[in-house]
Amino acid sequence: MRLDLGPLSLARGGHLLLRRALAAIPVGGSLLVRGDDPELVSHARALARRWGSSFAVEGSDVRLGPPEWLGGRWRGAERAGESGAGGVVEAPPQTWGLAARGAAVEVGAPAFAFRLASRDEVWTQDAGRFYLQAAAAQWDPATAIDWGANFELPDEVEDAVVQLMTYLIENETAALIVPARFCAQVHPHFREVMQVLAIQAADEARHIEVFTRRALLKRSAPALSTAGGQASLKTLIDEPDFALATFLLSVLGEGSFLALLRFLERHAPDPVTAAVARLTAQDEARHVAFGLAHLERHTAVDPSLLSRLANAIEGRHDALRETAGLNEEVFDALLFIAAGGWAPASLQRGWDAVVSLQAEMDVGRRVRLRRLGFSESEAARLSGLHTRNFM
């Protein structure tokens, strides 16, 4: 066999041609290499030594034998499952690490320490679909909302909106941190789950942006952050179990938030607040749907999870027993936004709206708890124990 490298140097890409030609040498054969690069001989000698080829100079050409070591690195390599969602395995080895699902992984790769590495614990068949939907539904805060819309609100109404935005920002910060943390713990073999959690965190990043921007549209600072509100959110951040955190955050918390954001869109005193509420609610609906899908599969595989979920609600309720629940600033802001003014009849209407919002949240929680397999009465009891802070 012959290989003519022309002017190409073995130190500058020519090694690829040489390696390909060496791999094709038949048993008992050899390869004659020629080229115009003055360093051909010394480069070929160094490469032959590295690859375990015999080497001889023939005039200005060189002759190489079959390489002993070319490709040997891939002996014993293992396929990391199959690339499609159907190729997900029950317990991917930690040594598959960051490899693309279905890639051939060299033996001896280092073991990672991804804590969430069992299919039953993290996987849902719908994850890929949820990710694609989320990727297609990304909106640009700069253009999706008409920030220049012309409106002026009475001071008290603007104050109420700013207070609500302040509350939403800290809630969405918790909703960013929780999936972001689990995203870093999921074995990348479960790629679609990792992608859903990542895009969920990205959604929350946009939500934080638009709530902040609305809060500061007419004011120089956000409003009040309460100890009780943060205590409630801290229990979410502190929950180390993926299933339980998903349950508390997505199914119960974001589920309740869905009703809150729709309430805000319905009663928004200005077009910017309405748009912000509408767009964020779209994303939250997806988060709730993914959390439900994940837990439905999980409880189907492991029915004992239901009692752990119930314990989680009860434990959180106990932890928050000494706190004030939904702070009155947020409650009053919601009431005032729905009322739209100081007229007694308006305030009565606002009060009624907030009461029916809480009823609506309760119904939604019970429906989702029933879907996970709780009985009617258990769902009602557990929904009643949900944090009064909504999230």
Partner 1 sequence: MRPFVLGAVAYDPKVVAIWDGFKQFFEDHGLPFDYVLFHNYERQVAAHFAGLIDVAWNSPLAWVMTERIARKKGRKATAVAMRDTDQDLTSVVVVRADSGIQRVADLQGRKIGVGAADSPQATLIPMRSLSLAGLAWPDGMEVRHDLLLGKHGDHVGGERVAAQALLRGEVDAACMIDSNLLAFAADGTLPAGSVRVLHTTEPYDHCNFTVLDGVDVGHVVPFLSLLLGMSWDDPTVRRLMDLEGLKAWRPGRTSGYEQVDMAANSYGPMNELVDQA
Give me the residues that bind partner 1 (CB under 8 A), please.
9-12, 38-39, 41-43, 45-47, 49-50, 52, 55, 68-69, 72-73, 75-76, 106-108
C-beta closer to partner 1: residue 2 or 50: 50
CB closer to partner 1, 8 vs 244: 8
Q: At CA 295, angle to CA 102 and CA 374, rounded to 5?
A: 155
224 token code pair:
């009040």
Query: Among all chains, which residue has been given the structure tokens 């700013």?
Result: 162
Give bridge partners of residue 61 from the DSSP assignment: 58
Q: Which of 54/118 has CB closer to partner 1? A: 54
State in angstroms the smallest separation of the CB of 43 from partner 1: 5
Q: How far is CA 112 from CA 98, 115, 209, in A?
A: 9, 9, 34
What is the smallest separation between the CB atom of 56 and partner 1, expressed in angstroms? Answer: 11
Residue with token string 């999980």? 298
CA distance 134 to 196: 8
The least CB distance from residue 100 to partner 1, in Å, is: 20
Q: 39 or 314: whose CB is closer to partner 1?
A: 39
**Minimum distance from residue 166 beta carbon to partner 1 (Å):** 53
DSSP states of 252-317: IIIHHHHHHHHHHHHH-SSHHHHHHHHHHHHHHHHHHHHHHHHHHHHHHH-TTHHHHHHHHHHHHH
Residue 218 tokens read as: 């007419």
Our CB check for partner 1 shows the closer of 68 and 302 to be 68
Alpha helices in 31-140 (DSSP H): 40-51, 119-122, 127-136
Dihedral pair phi/psi, residue 335, rounded to 5°: -60, -45
Q: Closest CB to partner 1 among 107 and 224?
A: 107
CA distance 121 to 299: 10
Give the C-alpha separation, 352 to 254, whole Å. Answer: 23
**Number of helices and strands in the chain (H, E):** 15, 6
**Pick 70 or 289: Cβ nearer partner 1:** 70
Q: How far is the CB of 18 from partner 1 (least distance, A)?
A: 12
* Residue 289 beta carbon to partner 1: minimum distance, rounded to whole angstroms: 43
Nearer to partner 1, 42 or 311 (CB): 42
CB of 174 to partner 1, least distance (A): 43
Q: Which helix (DSSP H) or strand (DSSP E) does residue 64 occupy?
A: strand 61-64
For tokens 């870093």, what's the residue? 184
Judged by CB, which is closer to partner 1: 65, or 229? 65
The torsion of the CA quartet 168, 171, 172, 173, rounded to 10 degrees, works out to 120
**In angstroms, what is the minimal distance from the CB of 55 to partner 1?**
7
Separation CA 4–CA 26 (nearest Å): 18
Least distance from partner 1 to the Cβ atom of residue 110, Å: 10
